[in-house]
Chain A
Amino acid sequence: MEFILQNFFNWDIVTQAWPLLLRGFGMTLILMAAVIPVGCIGGLTVALLGQSRFRAVRWLTIIYVDFFRAFPPLVLLIFIYAGLPFAGIDLPAIVSVCLAFLLNSSAYYGEVFRAGIESVGTGQAEAARSTGLSGFQTTTYVVLPQAIRNVLPDLVSNTLEVAKLTSLASVVALPELLYSADMARSVTFNATPIVMAAVLYLVLLWPLVRLLSRIEHRSMGSR
């Protein structure tokens, strides 16, 4: 027991590592605040392009979505971070991370929004157009609000995944929460900082998990 406390819940190390981890946590929050909206907007764009009148555009979005869903996000990140310099494009870690997230999560969000848009009956858009709304107005005021409500559980679930994915940025030495924790671990030879990082992630994301469980059960029950 003593042994476990010593290795996982060492109070001395908690007090030492705390400032470093807190800074990492701040970076993680910034990262989430950057990549979640970027992914959402990218995904919405992909989904709307997927509804295009032109068959070629629709096919291209399907290829885009499947291509980036087939790549594990870490592979995409490493490819951008370690591969692009060979093409003479040297991106800072944070830009690499944002670019990888844009490509990866716009594909996932795109699928979610697509399902949502397709769940709204065509009669809705037709009715909206016949009242004199433009195509743009129809999409923003009639189709999208219903689409988003219909896929809310998937939207929350995807956001949770994106939030967790920010931990991958540690692999390209971006000093976010996990990276800071791993630094502290390698200096102290003790797993306590990683436990601290886990606790911080739990504090941040557990409410989202609870919310997800609640709305997921409600939506399956109503079916």
Chain B
Amino acid sequence: MNADITQWDRFLASFFDLAVMQKYLPDIVDGFLLTCHLAILIVISGLVLGLILAVIRAYEFWLTSWLIVVFADVMRALPPLVFILLLYFGLPGVGLNLSGYAATYVTLTLVLAAFSEEIFRAGILATPKGQWEAARSTGLGFGQSLAYVIMPQAIRMTVPPLTNRTIAIAKNTALGTVVGVGEILNQATTGQSFSGNASPLVLGALAYLILFIPVVVFGRWVETRFAWRRT
């Protein structure tokens, strides 16, 4: 009985040491803010770039379409960590020094752009042909039909897959820790190795839950809401 208590105490002391937690809390908060703004930047630029690429591809000009397909395939097939390391360690060799932050930002933006381009593209293709014909026959140009008739419908169809993909890529900001970006995971592991205690890791895990549980629940809500509308 006595031994049980000491073991439990030891468990608490390694994972929930309040003094250690208090000491590293400011670092974790810093990491939290950095994860937030990195994720927001990636989501905005990735989705905008993906939309632009999908629109360019809608014009069906063979060279641009071909380039976009190659880009989207490569970025979807490569593990993002490989690309981050390639940018971070490879570019200095050709005289371009990229910070870990920039390497993570560029990589995840391109990955999100590749996936969202494919999703937008699928939405455009799934819009019935009659919509195009009707839009064109009222005298709208190709670009106008795309912007005012097709895209609003296509984007609505793509909301659930896009939401899920965006959440998954936002979580990948944790990969930045490998190239020294001071986001949550990085702060947590640094704290853990300095203090020789797992409490900073627990704090980091809590920070991720606080950040992403609402996002995941929101994603679930979007999925059911839009699925309901489709039927």
B220 at the interface (CB under 8 A from A): yes
Is there an interface contact between B220 and A66, defined as CB atoms closer than 8 Å?
Answer: yes
B126 at the interface (CB under 8 A from A): yes
Size category, A interface: 35 or more
Q: Give Cα distance in the complex from A71 to B83, angstroms.
A: 22
Q: Give Cα distance in the complex from A220 to B90, angstroms.
A: 39
A202 at the interface (CB under 8 A from B): yes
Chain B residues in the interface with A (C-beta under 8 A): 11, 14-15, 73-74, 76-83, 85-86, 89-90, 93-95, 118, 122-123, 125-126, 157, 167-168, 171-175, 177-178, 184-185, 189, 192, 197-198, 201-202, 204-205, 208-209, 211-213, 215-217, 220, 230
Is there an interface contact between A66 and B77, defined as CB atoms closer than 8 Å?
Answer: no
Is there an interface contact between B209 and A71, defined as CB atoms closer than 8 Å?
Answer: yes
A54 at the interface (CB under 8 A from B): no
Is there an interface contact between B205 and A79, defined as CB atoms closer than 8 Å?
Answer: yes
Which of A82, A182, A209 lies at the interface centre, i.e. has the most chain B CB atoms within 10 A of its CB? A209
Main secondary structure, interface of B, reads helix
Among candidates A6, A75, A182, A185, residue contacting B205 with C-beta atoms closer than 8 Å: A75
Q: Give Cα distance in the complex from A221 to B129, angstroms.
A: 11
A194 at the interface (CB under 8 A from B): yes
Among candidates A75, A86, A198, residue contacting B83 with C-beta atoms closer than 8 Å: A198
A144 at the interface (CB under 8 A from B): no
Is there an interface contact between B81 and A7, defined as CB atoms closer than 8 Å?
Answer: no
Cβ–Cβ < 8 Å partners of B168 in chain A? 161
Is there an interface contact between A210 and B174, defined as CB atoms closer than 8 Å?
Answer: no
Chain A residues in the interface with B (C-beta under 8 A): 3-4, 6-8, 66-67, 69-75, 78-79, 82-83, 86-87, 160-161, 164-168, 170-171, 178, 181-182, 185, 190-191, 194-195, 197-198, 201-202, 205-206, 208-210, 212-213, 216-217, 220-221, 223
Cβ–Cβ < 8 Å partners of A197 in chain B? 82
Cβ–Cβ < 8 Å partners of B178 in chain A? 171
What are 22 pairs between A and B in contact, CB < 8 Å? A8-B90, A66-B213, A67-B209, A69-B167, A70-B212, A72-B172, A72-B173, A72-B212, A74-B174, A75-B185, A83-B192, A83-B202, A87-B15, A171-B178, A194-B90, A195-B86, A198-B78, A201-B77, A205-B77, A209-B76, A209-B77, A213-B73
Is there an interface contact between B204 and A191, defined as CB atoms closer than 8 Å?
Answer: no
Q: Give Cα distance in the complex from A86 to B212, angstroms.
A: 26
Which A-B residue pairs are the 5 nearest by beta carbons?
A191-B90, A7-B93, A167-B79, A70-B212, A72-B174
Is there an interface contact between B185 and A194, defined as CB atoms closer than 8 Å?
Answer: no
Which of B79, B90, B213 lies at the interface centre, i.e. has the most chain A CB atoms within 10 A of its CB? B79
Cβ–Cβ < 8 Å partners of B211 in chain A? 70
Cβ–Cβ < 8 Å partners of A70 in chain B? 208-209, 211-213, 215-216
| Shortest Cβ distance from A203 into B: residue | B77
Is there an interface contact between B77 and A78, defined as CB atoms closer than 8 Å?
Answer: no
Known: A74-B174, A82-B192, A87-B14. A7 touches B82 (CB 8 A): no
Q: Give Cα distance in the complex from A197 to B122, angstroms.
A: 30
Q: Give Cα distance in the complex from A212 to B123, angstroms.
A: 15
Cβ–Cβ < 8 Å partners of A161 in chain B? 168
Cβ–Cβ < 8 Å partners of A78 in chain B? 185, 189, 201
Cβ–Cβ < 8 Å partners of A87 in chain B? 11, 14-15, 198
